[in-house]
A and B are shown apart, each in its own frame.
Chain A
Amino acid sequence: RKEVEQDPGPFNVPEGATVAFNCTYSNSASQSFFWYRQDCRKEPKLLMSVYSSGNEDGRFTAQLNRASQYISLLIRDSKLSDSATYLCVVNDNDMRFGAGTRLTVKP
């Protein structure tokens, strides 16, 4: 089993849609969790940390379920500019990156 698993997509959604990504991790002792965004041929950039109580940043909501060992990212009212690959990252003393989920938002 991979340490961090994501649905590779691609997710193709119309503007204004709500889209959700899930990510599962194998190490129950994992301590911290993040979502990164990576545009085509660019570096990953930190989108948000994921806290146990869940957290929201504008149109983005992140949730953590420790019992089931998954984290999620919800994007509401998606924009064309949200098109990117979203990387799930889990820290279990090492930062472990998922392979990413590709999102394309279409007009």
Chain B
Amino acid sequence: NAGVTQTPKFRILKIGQSMTLQCTQDMNHNYMYWYRQDPGMGLKLIYYSVGAGITDKGEVPNGYNVSRSTTEDFPLRLELAAPSQTSVYFCASSTTSNYGYTFGSGTRLTVV
């Protein structure tokens, strides 16, 4: 039972480069989320999705993009990476918006 799988686990990007963070869940959850966690701060919501084909912005969407073509996959795209995007990124999923989340193990991204 894999749950929520994120790849890669670590990545170093140069300023201006782009990359996609992958997230897959095998629990048939409709709701999926992308958060970033900075030291000493609570998790901040970047984007979320309530089902395949539906995405919406969270609290800190600038510099990111998402798509949700299937129930299982919810990739996060970083365009033109900036040092401010250095963070730990977590993908999560849930059965409903009012239920506890299952998180992936995270991606540690450094932009230099």
**Which residues does A use to contact B, with CB under 8 Å?**
4, 8, 31-32, 34, 36, 42-46, 49, 87, 91, 93-100
What range describes how many residues of B lie at the interface? Answer: 10 to 19
**What is the distance, in angstroms, from A67's C-beta to the closest C-beta of chain B?**
22
Asked if B106 is at the interface of the complex by the 8 Å CB criterion, the answer is yes
Within 8 Å CB of B27, what residues of A? none
Q: How far is the CA of A87 from the CA of B59 in the complex (A)?
A: 19
**Which residues does B use to contact A, with CB under 8 Å?**
33, 35, 40-43, 45, 58-59, 90, 97-98, 100-106
Q: How far is the CA of A37 from the CA of B74 in the complex (A)?
A: 24
Q: How far is the CA of A18 from the CA of B98 in the complex (A)?
A: 30
Q: How far is the CA of A77 from the CA of B72 in the complex (A)?
A: 40
Chain B residue at minimal CB-CB distance from A5: B42
Q: How far is the CA of A31 from the CA of B96 in the complex (A)?
A: 13
Chain B residue at minimal CB-CB distance from A48: B100
- Known A-B contacts A43-B90, A43-B106, A44-B90; the reply to A95 vs B101 at CB < 8 A is yes
**What is the distance, in angstroms, from A86's C-beta to the closest C-beta of chain B?**
12
Chain B residue at minimal CB-CB distance from A35: B100
B42–A97 touching, CB < 8 Å: yes
25 A-B residue pairings within 8 Å (CB atoms)? A8-B40, A31-B98, A42-B105, A42-B106, A43-B90, A43-B104, A43-B105, A43-B106, A44-B43, A45-B103, A46-B101, A49-B100, A87-B42, A87-B43, A94-B45, A94-B59, A95-B33, A95-B45, A95-B97, A95-B101, A97-B35, A97-B42, A97-B43, A98-B42, A100-B42
Within 8 Å CB of B40, what residues of A? 8, 99
Q: Can you add 12 more A-B contacts, CB < 8 Å, to A42-B106, A44-B90, A46-B100?
A: A34-B100, A43-B90, A43-B103, A44-B101, A44-B103, A45-B103, A91-B97, A93-B97, A95-B45, A97-B35, A98-B42, A99-B40
Q: How far is the CA of A100 from the CA of B102 in the complex (A)?
A: 18
**What is the distance, in angstroms, from A8's C-beta to the closest C-beta of chain B?**
7
**What is the distance, in angstroms, from B13's C-beta to the closest C-beta of chain A?**
20
**What is the distance, in angstroms, from B96's C-beta to the closest C-beta of chain A?**
10
